[in-house]
Amino acid sequence: MKIRIDKSACVGNARCANISEELFPLDDDGYIKVTEVDVPPGMEQLAKRGARACPERVIHIIEE
């Protein structure tokens, strides 16, 4: 599973990192740092929860 993040639309409210700091690392200003993440096996549920938690809905799950 992969996550794609529409970084330009992130407004920096860290709801994703609140679910998992490992999957959704933030920069010093609190914006998401990455645009694409390969979800390690076993973390698929966390990835989905992170995507649902984003108020801006900019985190997209790409099922493989």
Query: Does 10 interact with ligand SF4 (rule: CB under 6 A)?
Result: yes
Regarding 49 and contact with ligand SF4 (CB under 6 A), the answer is no
Is-contact 39 47, C-beta < 8 A? yes
Q: Which residues bind other proteins (CB under 8 A)?
A: 11-15, 17, 26, 28-31, 49, 52-57
Could you tell me the CA-to-CA distances from 32 to 47, 51, 62 in Å, in that order?
A: 14, 12, 18
Looking from the CA of 56 toward its CB, the CA atoms found within 13 Å total 16
Answer yes or no whether residue 40 interacts with ligand SF4 by CB under 6 A.
Answer: no
Q: Pick from 13, 34, 46, 49: which binds ligand SF4 (CB under 6 A)? A: 13
